[in-house]
Amino acid sequence: MATPRILVVGAGFAGIACVRRLERRLAPGEAEISLVTPFSYQLYLPLLPQVASGVLTPQSVAVSLRRSSRHRTRIIPGGAIGVDTRAKVCVVRKITGETVNERYDYIVLAPGSITRTFDIPGLTDYARGMKTLAEAAYIRDHVIAQLDLADASQSEDERISRLQFVVVGGGYAGTETAACLQRLTTNAIKRYPRLDPRLIKWHLIDIAPKLMPELGDKLGRSALEVMRGRGVEVSLGVSIAEAGPEKVTFTDGRVVPTRTLIWTAGVAASPLIATLDAETVRGRLVVTPEMAVPGLNGVFAMGDAAAVPDLVKGDGSICPPTAQHSMRQGRQLAENVLATLRGAPMKPYAHKDLGLVVDLGGTDAVSKPLGIELRGLPAQAVARGYHWSALRTNVAKTRVLTNWLLNAIAGDDFVRTGFLAERPPTLRDFEHTDEYLTPDQIREHTASLSAVG
């Protein structure tokens, strides 16, 4: 009898937690594990704003898969671009561009999410996201380049547009990104004596009536006060009407001259989910409490791409797309795959949220661990302690801690590392959202390409 094949798609929090549990719990020869991922690292996404501001190096938040693996998993360097659930084949485009079929007996879908966009003129051409390591590194280079170009310019209008920055999205990603980068430019401007510091202006806007409503009214107001106290212009109930290369128009009619638009207004499930032709809820794949996809034999899903029922909250709620849930879903789903292999009953996923942490840079932070509201240094200690403990390897923990200490002692640096291209990349370029197949193309590939493995 052939050895069962378990294929895990995605090396985010959910996928890696699942793989690590499978590696520990599977008996030798009980099953083969394969992991599909275009990168050789797991990205610690919550710390990307600190990469963008230069507090952390990119390598610090890119946790090596090879270093933490038990070497039982075959890592396939590429991205899943379609799944044929009838033939039990996943179509993978390798990093070389070659397209191959990967057969499976059980498939775990954890492809994560992409930046959610809307039909706003110019948005996809001129906005940059904060979902990938490349985007964070690019944004850092871009922001520092605006200071350099403004300093060299003879035009007052150009200086004004280069020194105004717009961040859309009042959630964690947007608020932390605006806070960290505002701190960077505030410190950097001291190195540019020809520039008037008053020209630097950060805008944080969100269509919602509150900043980070998940924190509750008190902490949300505290975060708002911190941002406004540092000079960030926060506009709520406002979004983008049109984006251009040198200006952005808000929905309230204001026109802001700017060369920098950072878009963090939510996420959408990976386009891979649409290739399954299965039921979705707001783009996320419908799954049972055990994270199995109804009606599809051997198909499981979790993380940002799955609508996992939140049994603790009840009332038909689904788990929010957070790292806290994804890591725990990964471990539980591994147990459920093992149970299926061994003919045992699966268990539903249930987890009570442990709280929220928001690092606003410097000594500013707001946190709500276990329902306890914290501000300032205590909140930052909790936030950084949580992130530090969540890093999977001691090497990653050492790098992050060393970077934090170095930044606290030596301050920020303002070096451009060369990521700024003559033709600025788009959201589509960074997140590769146009590479997925249609159901007809998937069937064609699974019929014509030879299977691998």
In a domain? residue 325: yes
Residues 46 and 390: their CA atoms lie apart, in Å, by 10
Helix ranges, 189-244 (H): 217-229
- What is the model's pLDDT at position 184? 94
Average pLDDT of the chain, as a whole number:
91
In a domain? residue 425: no
As a residue count, the chain comes to 453
Whether residue 182 sits in one domain with residue 58: no
CATH of the domain at 33: 3.50.50.100
Nearest alpha carbon to residue 359 among 226, 165, 193: 226
In a domain? residue 103: yes
**370-425 per-position pLDDT tens digit:** 788 889 999 999 999 999 998 988 999 999 999 999 999 988 888 888 766 677 88
Q: What are phi and psi of 345, to 5 degrees?
A: -75, 145
Q: Is the pLDDT of residue 453 over 60?
A: no
In a domain? residue 250: yes
In a domain? residue 157: yes
Contact 308, 325 (CB under 8 A): yes
- What is the model's pLDDT at position 451? 44
Helix ranges, 12-108 (H): 13-25, 48-52, 65-68
440 C-beta neighbours (distance < 10 Å), count: 8
Contact 124, 263 (CB under 8 A): no
Residues 233 and 224: their CA atoms lie apart, in Å, by 10
Whether residue 213 sits in one domain with residue 284: no
CA dist 238 to 83, 169, 213, Å?
A: 39, 10, 16
Whether residue 322 sits in one domain with residue 173: no
Q: What is the mean pLDDT of residues 210-239?
A: 91
Cβ-in-10-Å burial (0-12, 13-18, 19+) of 98 comes to: exposed
Helix ranges, 35-101 (H): 48-52, 65-68
- What is the model's pLDDT at position 69? 60
Q: Is the pLDDT of residue 450 over 80?
A: no
Contact 361, 178 (CB under 8 A): no
Residues 87 and 103: their CA atoms lie apart, in Å, by 8
Q: Give the containing element (helix H, strand E) for 299.
A: strand 299-301
Cβ-in-10-Å burial (0-12, 13-18, 19+) of 411 comes to: exposed
Strand partners, 269: 113
Contact 182, 191 (CB under 8 A): no
- What is the model's pLDDT at position 421? 65
Whether residue 396 sits in one domain with residue 334: no
Residues 50 and 57: their CA atoms lie apart, in Å, by 8
Residues 404 and 450: their CA atoms lie apart, in Å, by 49
Q: Domain residues for 132?
A: 123-265+355-420
Nearest alpha carbon to residue 242 among 118, 119, 122: 122
User: What end-to-end distance do the CA atoms of the chain give, in Å?
Assistant: 15
Q: Give the containing element (helix H, strand E) for 100.
A: strand 99-103
Whether residue 78 sits in one domain with residue 14: yes
Strand partners, 40: none
Whether residue 410 sits in one domain with residue 342: no
In a domain? residue 128: yes
**What is the count of structural domains for the chain?**
2
DSSP label of 309: B
- What is the model's pLDDT at position 452? 43
Whether residue 281 sits in one domain with residue 229: no
Whether residue 242 sits in one domain with residue 364: yes
Look at the alpha carbons of 4, 10, 12, 14 in this order and tell me if their dihedral is positive or negative.
Answer: negative
Whether residue 201 sits in one domain with residue 273: no
In a domain? residue 223: yes
Q: Is the pLDDT of residue 43 over 60?
A: yes
- pTM summary value: 0.92
**124-135 per-position pLDDT tens digit:** 999 999 999 999
Which region among 74-83, 86-95, 206-215 has the lowest average model confidence (pLDDT)? 206-215
Whether residue 131 sits in one domain with residue 66: no
In a domain? residue 307: yes
The secondary structure of the chain in percent helix, strand, coil, rounded to multiples of 5, reads 40, 25, 35
Whether residue 390 sits in one domain with residue 260: yes
Q: What are phi and psi of 42, to 5 degrees?
A: -100, 125
Token pair of 210, please? Answer: 């509150």
Whether residue 287 sits in one domain with residue 260: no
Q: How confident is the model at residue 138 (pLDDT cuts 50, 70, 90)?
A: very high
Token pair of 336, please? Answer: 């459920």
Farthest-apart Cα atoms in the chain, separation = 75
**11-22 per-position pLDDT tens digit:** 999 999 999 999
Q: How confident is the model at residue 308 (pLDDT cuts 50, 70, 90)?
A: very high
**174-207 per-position pLDDT tens digit:** 999 999 999 999 999 999 999 999 999 999 999 9
**332-374 per-position pLDDT tens digit:** 999 999 999 999 999 999 988 777 889 898 888 998 887 888 8
